[in-house]
Chains A and B, each alone.
Chain A
Amino acid sequence: DAKTTQPNSMESNEEEPVHLPCNHSTISGTDYIHWYRQLPSQGPEYVIHGLTSNVNNRMASLAIAEDRKSSTLILHRATLRDAAVYYCILRDVVQGGSEKLVFGKGMKLTVNP
């Protein structure tokens, strides 16, 4: 499975934008980039995913480097409810490829009031 590298932790201030980086230098052409987050005492929650182009949804934006070796999850205005562990995961969708989401340790985001 292709691996991702994230900082162990980050801090941000409430109502400010926050950029969460992820490196995935061994990404293959068929890997989607997925982001999940896990709030305290809850199951992981899907945030966003993309393949090559930047993506936006109601929760966040995903900026993908042109060479796809890195990506950045952008929370436009952090709130206290965004404090969570964020996971950057590669998912191969080619038939016969890995069917599982492989979670690393993720990155803990602290949001200061």
Chain B
Amino acid sequence: NAGVTQTPKFQVLKTGQSMTLQCAQDMNHNSMYWYRQDPGMGLRLIYYSASEGTTDKGEVPNGYNVSRLNKREFSLRLESAAPSQTSVYFCASSEAPQGPRGYTFGSGTRLTVV
């Protein structure tokens, strides 16, 4: 099925470890996004990429880096994980940043930092 694929689905890290969350979409969308969702909260934007080759900070970028590897893939890296980064991470894509249509979201990566 077409959509947004995130890997891994679950991950436990120790404080200070690093990891990369992978995201790929097969809908030929131009724009991709990384959100985090803490318990009982709405989603907050970490970084986004309006088009291949560009990335911009969102609301909560500290502690994260991103790479738009190609049009399909957008990865999120935690260089030195902290317990405050325990969250569910969602990747999303859309046709264009200014387009009126909806985003397609992945099923999420549940990250626990101990």
The interface of chain A, by Cβ under 8 A from chain B, is 32, 34, 36, 41-46, 49, 51, 87, 91, 93-95, 97, 99-106
Contact between chains at B42 and A46 (CB < 8 Å): no
Which of the 9-residue segments B14-22, B70-78, B97-105 touches chain A?
B97-105
> How many positions in chain B have a CB within 8 Å of any CB in the partner chain?
29
Contact between chains at B105 and A91 (CB < 8 Å): no
Shortest A43–chain B CB gap in Å is 3
Shortest B111–chain A CB gap in Å is 14
* A93-B99, A100-B48 known; A42 vs B41 contact (CB < 8 Å): no
Q: Which A residues are CB-close (under 8 A) to B44?
A: 103
A-B contact pairs, 7 of them (CB 8 A): A34-B102, A36-B103, A41-B108, A46-B102, A95-B98, A101-B33, A101-B43
Question: SS class of chain B's interface: helix, strand, loop or mixed?
Answer: loop
Shortest A87–chain B CB gap in Å is 7
- Complex alpha-carbon distance, A104 and B43, angstroms: 7
Given A99-B48, A100-B45, 6 other A-B residues pairs in contact with their CB atoms under 8 A: A43-B90, A43-B105, A43-B106, A91-B100, A99-B56, A102-B59
Shortest B39–chain A CB gap in Å is 12
Shortest A27–chain B CB gap in Å is 14
The interface of chain B, by Cβ under 8 A from chain A, is 4, 31, 33, 35, 40-45, 48, 50, 56, 58-59, 90, 92, 97-108
Q: Which B residues are CB-close (under 8 A) to A41?
A: 108
Contact between chains at A103 and B42 (CB < 8 Å): yes
Contact between chains at B43 and A103 (CB < 8 Å): yes
Task: Report the 7 A-B pairs with minimum CB-CB distance, sorted nearest first.
Answer: A46-B102, A43-B105, A103-B42, A99-B97, A103-B43, A32-B100, A93-B98
- Complex alpha-carbon distance, A36 and B98, angstroms: 17
Q: Which A residues are CB-close (under 8 A) to B99?
A: 93
Q: Which B residues are CB-close (under 8 A) to A101?
A: 33, 43, 45, 103
Shortest B63–chain A CB gap in Å is 19
Contact between chains at B98 and A49 (CB < 8 Å): no
